[in-house]
Amino acid sequence: MALFQVEGWNLKEERVAIGGITKKKSKREKKRDKKLAQAAQAEEQDQIDDEVEDEDEDEEDDDEEVKPAKTTEKIEAKPKSNEETKKIKKRKHEDVEQPKTEKITKAPVVQVAAPVSAPLPVQKLSPLQQKMMAKLSGSRFRWINEQLYTISSESALELIKNQPVLFDEYHQGFRSQVESWPENPVDVFVDQIKLRGGNKQVNAPGGLPGLPNKKIVIADMGCGEAQLSLDVSNFVKQYNASQQEKNNNNNQKKKFQKGGNNRRFPTGGPRSLDIEVHSFDLKKHNDRITVADIKNVPLPDNSCTVVIFCLALMGTNFLDFVKEAYRLLAPRGELWIAEIKSRFTESGEKTKKQEDIGKEFVEALKLNGFFHKNTDNSNKMFTRFEFFKPAQDIINERKAKLERRQKFVEQESEKEELETKRQTNPEGKWLLKPCIYKRR
Ligand code: SAH
């Protein structure tokens, strides 16, 4: 059975490369295998029991891909004691205990034959050991994921600062998940950059927004391993090289054509692209990344033209990230967001139409000053949004219009209400539900 009872989000055992062991096993290895086999048996029995007990719940969940937490309470993951992990026996609901307060618990310490944080080379493990390893990795992935969705961004920064290995373990699991999706939202964003950047002039209708000097500055907030920055810089290099080549060919042609075609650039796209990507996350996994809590990144006001949150609205205070995006963006700059569909309040309501998903979220962003451009619900897994920061003249116009309709005060009080509500009930508990995975 898959680790998560959610289609598309399973860390299947088969994903671990199976390396055969041909040499004769030592006594110690045999003993270790026996111990693991017993543990696995107990585990399987537990699982059967759990499946039976979970049947009702499963039906209710309707096989959704990613489950938001059933309640909006915080989750306190219980770290396993050494004794427990040695036995590799789970207690029922070990991963979905309901927490009382925001609390960063220490990562579960896994001390089995192959500790997850310092794994043995996979090919040295027997298939059974590999299976157990996959289960433990999945369990740790779920634990870290749960933490990041149910604590504030300050606490998340602290958590990863104190235990950086959690970031690597998280991304190991995250990568496996993404591989099983029909589409990776990062690729969708990169395609947007290629399409709009390659075919249209900067700041022209349909083109990418840029600074007055045409430079496009992107902030990838919660970048993970900063794939977007790598892909974009490769694209820019390629694009500029091909434009240069076209330019050279054209100049050559012109030399031989008397009064011929005077067009210097055959395509309607820009002559060259200048795109800078800033990538922020909780750990400096590689040189492209700057460590920062995305509620407060080291870039000046109005310095970016696109801000991206790709599955990164994780902290319970994620509206602070949205406010930070507003600060960073130059007027007419765009905010791009992708989030897992089941996080939206509307997604649980069976009567709601696809196009309604994300409406409450959009309203909250509008109250934070953004104009809504587009919601794309065509993907099965995630919803993609585009907003922009209006220029000052548009803000003034809008204000005057609202005042004429005597709606300005109404909007201001809605803003206040939202702020008051988030003081006592952070938005990560109600505006976007956290993704909590079922135990298995
Ligand atoms: N955008 C990447 C990674 C998504 S996973 C992608 O789509 O592939 C979410 C990422 O957000 C994780 O790497 C996590 O560490 C990061 N993150 C969560 N809260 C953060 C915070 N407060 N500040 C910076 N990064 C954060």
Question: Cα separation of 31 and 69, whole Å?
Answer: 40
- Conformation bin of residue 24: beta by default, left when phi > 0, alpha when psi is -120 to 50: beta
pLDDT (tens digit, 9 = 90+) per residue, 133-179? 888 888 899 999 999 999 999 999 999 999 999 999 999 999 988 88
pLDDT at 47: 40
pLDDT at 289: 98
What mean pLDDT comes out for the span 306-331? 98
**Centroid of ligand 1 to alpha carbon of 114 (angstroms):** 27
DSSP 270: -
142: Cβ contacts below 8 Å, ≥ 6 apart: 3, 4, 95, 173, 436, 437, 439
Q: How confident is the model at residue 31 (pLDDT cuts 50, 70, 90)?
A: low
Q: Atom 10 in ligand 1: which residue has the minimum CA distance? A: 222
Closest CA to 339 of 436, 222, 432: 432
Find out whether 134 and 16 touch, Cβ atoms under 8 Å. Answer: yes
Q: How long, in residues, is the chain?
A: 440
**Ligand 1 pocket residues where CB is under 6 Å:** 148, 153, 156, 174, 185-186, 222-224, 280-282, 293-294, 310-312, 314-315
Find out whether 388 and 371 touch, Cβ atoms under 8 Å. Answer: yes
pLDDT (tens digit, 9 = 90+) per residue, 351-383? 567 778 999 999 999 999 999 999 999 998 899
Residue 50: pLDDT over 80: no
DSSP 36-101: HHHHHHHHHHHHHHHHHHHHHHHHHHTT-SSPBPSSSS---PPPPPHHHHHHT-PPTTTT-PPPSS
DSSP 348: G
pLDDT at 75: 34
**Centroid of ligand 1 to alpha carbon of 221 (angstroms):** 7
Pocket test for ligand 1, best of 104, 187, 223 (most atoms within 8 A of CB): 223
Which residues is 277 bridged to in the sheet?
218
Strand 329-340 versus strand 289-291 pairing type? unpaired
**Centroid of ligand 1 to alpha carbon of 246 (angstroms):** 39
SS3 content of the chain, % helix, strand, coil (to 5): 45, 10, 40
Token pair 């920062």 is found at 292
What pTM was computed for the model? 0.76
pLDDT (tens digit, 9 = 90+) per residue, 201-252? 999 999 999 999 999 999 999 999 999 999 999 999 999 999 988 888 877 7
Sheet (strand 382-388) strand order: 289-291, 275-281, 216-221, 304-310, 329-340, 382-388, 371-376
pLDDT at 146: 93
- Of residues 397 and 96, the one with the higher pLDDT is 397
pLDDT at 283: 98
Pocket test for ligand 1, best of 144, 311, 313, 316 (most atoms within 8 A of CB): 311
